[in-house]
């Protein structure tokens, strides 16, 4: 009996019903009535262990292939590196001398709070956004390691992005090159504020866009450092974003726009550091 009843429902009806379900879901999440976060957490709870596992297999494989690299090459490389070490030692001693000067300058720019002062946790990128349209990724650390929503994520010397969602042992990060990302920033020397926004079209060139830069005295040159600004409510102050590569005046003659080269290599991102401190907390204390 039941089977017969099944056959009577036409596929058209199912289609209409499911479309209505989807649209109502969208409207509910848009209105904030539907608790999307717990459902997402449940789904990620099921998927993240697998992603972690596959990632481990991938790392093991790449380790193995690199192990097969022949000896000759390594010896050659070693020689090259040795000469590089000498070169760098010389350079290092030169740089040590200018550290005191740097300290002074940092104080001058009120940027003496270096990232090393923040409490950080290292994490691995285990999965990237499954589509081609957005630049978000998942890392293998979550609330267990003290990561919260809106935590800043850095790698090497520069800003990578911001945590948008947190689970027990995973977190989703939206990188600053994502098309929907906007970061309040400022220039290093003049402290002029601007907005750094990701743009799909510039990703291929490995660049970011900045807009609304007020620079009345034309002081900003190419190569100028752009750091996160003090007025941003989610990003901690003074994290390096990148270097100005092009700059031009807007038609309104008041502000400037241009592109900047990020300090982080987003194409080969594998390990990131998450700063546990939140901007909001810092303001409260």
Partner 1 sequence: MRIQRKVVTLLLILICAILQGTLFKALSIGSISPNLLLILTISFGFMRGKKNGIWIGFCCGLLKDLLSDGLLGFYALVYLCIGYAAGCCCKLFYDEELRVPIILTAAGDLVYGGLVYGMQYLMRGRVQFYYYFGRIIIPEMIYTVLMTVLLYRLLFNINKRLTELEMKERDSIWLRK
List contacts with partner 1 (CB under 8 A): 11, 14-15, 18-19, 21-26, 28-30, 34, 36, 39-40, 43-44, 46-47, 50-51, 54-55, 58, 126-134, 136, 138, 164-165, 172, 174, 179-180, 200-201, 203-204, 267
Give 9's strand partners. Answer: none
Question: Based on CB atoms, which residue is closest to partner 1, 158 or 198?
Answer: 198
At closest approach, how far in Å is the CB of 246 from partner 1? 18
Of the two residues 136 and 259, which places its CB atom closer to partner 1 in the complex? 136
Choose between 50 and 109: whose C-beta lies nearer to partner 1: 50
Least Å distance, CB 54 to partner 1, is 5
**276 and 118 Cβ atoms separated by less than 8 Å:** yes
Name the residue nearer to partner 1 (CB basis): 28 or 74. Answer: 28
Nearer to partner 1, 18 or 88 (CB): 18
* Least distance between partner 1 and beta carbon 55 (Å): 6
**Looking at beta carbons only, is 59 or 191 nearer to partner 1?**
59
Q: CB 34 → partner 1: shortest distance, Å?
A: 7
**Residue 132 C-beta: closest distance to partner 1, Å:** 5
What's CA 97's distance to the chain center, in Å?
33
Min dist CB 161 to partner 1, Å, is 13
220 vs 147: CA distance, rounded Å: 36
């Amino acid at each position: 009996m039941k089977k017969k009843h099944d056959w009577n429902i036409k596929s058209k009806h199912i289609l209409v019903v499911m479309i209505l379900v989807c649209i109502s879901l969208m409207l509910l999440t848009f209105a904030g009535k539907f608790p999307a976060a717990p459902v997402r957490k449940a789904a990620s709870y099921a998927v993240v262990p697998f992603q972690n596992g596959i990632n481990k297999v991938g790392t093991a494989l790449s380790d193995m292939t690199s192990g097969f690299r022949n000896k000759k090459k390594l010896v050659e490389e070693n020689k090259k590196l040795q000469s590089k070490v000498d070169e760098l030692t010389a350079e290092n001693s030169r740089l040590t001398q200018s550290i005191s000067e740097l300290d002074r300058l940092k104080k001058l720019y009120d940027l003496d709070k270096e990232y090393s002062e923040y409490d950080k946790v290292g994490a691995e990128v285990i999965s990237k956004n499954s589509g081609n349209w957005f630049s978000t990724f998942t890392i293998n650390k979550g609330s267990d390691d003290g990561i919260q929503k809106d935590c800043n994520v850095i790698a090497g010397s520069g800003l990578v992005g911001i945590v948008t969602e947190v689970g027990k042992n995973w977190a989703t990060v939206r990188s600053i090159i994502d098309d929907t990302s906007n970061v309040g920033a400022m220039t290093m020397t003049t402290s002029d504020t601007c907005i750094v926004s990701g743009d799909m079209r510039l990703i291929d060139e490995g660049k970011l866009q900045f807009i609304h830069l007020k620079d009345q005295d034309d002081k900003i040159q190419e190569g100028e450092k752009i750091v996160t600004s003090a007025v941003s409510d989610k990003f901690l102050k003074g994290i390096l974003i990148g270097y100005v590569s092009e700059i031009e005046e807007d038609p309104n003659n008041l502000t400037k726009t241009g592109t900047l080269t990020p300090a982080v290599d987003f194409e080969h991102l594998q390990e990131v550091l998450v700063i546990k401190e939140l901007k909001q907390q810092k303001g409260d204390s």
